[in-house]
Amino acid sequence: MKEKMKSKFEELFGDYGDIRVYFAPGRVNLIGEHTDYNGGHVFPCALTMGTYAVARKRNDNKLRLYSMNFEKLGILESSIEDLKYKKEEKWINYPKSMIWALKSEEYNVDKGFDILYYGNIPNGAGLSSSASIEVLTGFVLKDLFNLDIDMVKLALLGQKAENQYVGVNCGIMDQFIIANGKKDCAIFLDTANLEFEYAPVKLKNEKIVIMNTNKKRGLGDSKYNERRAECEKALEELQQELNIKTLGELSEEEFEKNKHLIKDKNRKKRAKHAVYENQRTIKAVKALQENKIDLLGKLMIESHNSLRDDYEVTGKELDTLVEESLKQDGVVGARMTGAGFGGCAVSIVKNDKVEKFIENVGKAYKEKIGYNADFYVVEIGDGPRII
């Protein structure tokens, strides 16, 4: 793939100067969904699938960007002086958002560049293709311009780009795991203070299988921002009597004792999910450390049920995948992953049952939904790198 991309780059942009090839992963979150903007814990891992880039610095201010995933759009041009968000520019708003974020904090990106991108993360699947492009672009610029920036800061700038430029009020999880991923480990991250530890994911007899609904969803126009606003309002109501900064500070018992302060029924359900999901995540990491894979699976199932009933972000497609998964032999646990409203679910399946699992769940999904789901048996990989 590397040679094919370099060849395409030279065909498009010319064969001269120093060109480099880079990679940043996609991610899947094992548990801890919609907790990252509620001051809770998350437990994601980086994938070996992700986004590649070939890049070269220019001597002028011009930006020339090309994606092998959107070849019909051709080379899209802009400049480092014209970084305004333009809806019609589609995917290049993600790289532009990262240039904007770096420049907004006085990082010296003083010349243009040519970049060719290629991603093998299914677009719109909820495996963080947008955050992967953002972090990858930041990593490329860190290298091209010798920027003094660590990977935690790079993740924070990716979040700033998504929040303030793209307009999606996301938490820190996606950019953080993509920037800081480590092979065969998930990151146990406290989003309230960004303290984290690497937790080895030792699945000796099981595989992680990601199931793509193939129902596309756009985060910006989903109910994502609405859910966040509901949680913020619930927090305000609780703060009238409780000295807390986030919902993630509450135990289940404290929430039950004080939930009467939340006046709206739906807001109460949203806050309950945020509190209980945070505690499930803490328990899940402990279960993994103690090699209690069955307990991890049970917590994943509880997580999905809460996302379906209390947070209401699943939908028919995701629910069908999870329901059909749990009917199969050798399934330890399954749940939706990502923002919801389409995208993917994740399951842990015994090695010798994976083939039959994919066949059976795929058949049942097609019968009930009317089109195919896609399945990926994934491995946990490292964060961004030069290749």
Q: Where in the sequence numbering do the catalytic residues fall?
A: 174
- CA–CA separation, 330 vs 117, rounded Å? 38
Residue with tokens 């938490």: 171
The rounded distance, in Å, linking the Cα atoms of 127 and 342 is 11
Task: Enumerate residues 6+ apart whose C-beta is below 8 A from 59.
Answer: 111
H helices of the chain, in order, are 2-13, 93-104, 129-144, 151-160, 173-180, 224-238, 252-258, 265-289, 293-309, 316-325, 354-369
Spatial distance between the Cα atoms of 162 and 173, rounded to a whole number of angstroms: 12
Token pair 């990593």 is found at 139
Strand partners, 350: 206
- Adjacent-strand bridge partners of 41: 190
Closest CA to 31 of 245, 348, 357, 376: 348
284, 30 Cβ separation under 8 angstroms: yes
Q: Give the 3-state DSSP-derived string for 307-332, with helices as H, strands as E and coil as C.
A: HHHCCCCCCHHHHHHHHHHCCCCCEE
Is 31 buried (19+), middle (13-18) or exposed (0-12) by CB count in 10 A?
buried
HSE at residue 177, side-chain half, CA atoms within 13 A, is 36
* C-beta separation of 373 from 362 below 8 A: yes
Residue carrying the six token digits 């899940």:
284
Give, to the nearest 10 degrees, the angle between helix 129-144 and helix 93-104. Answer: 50
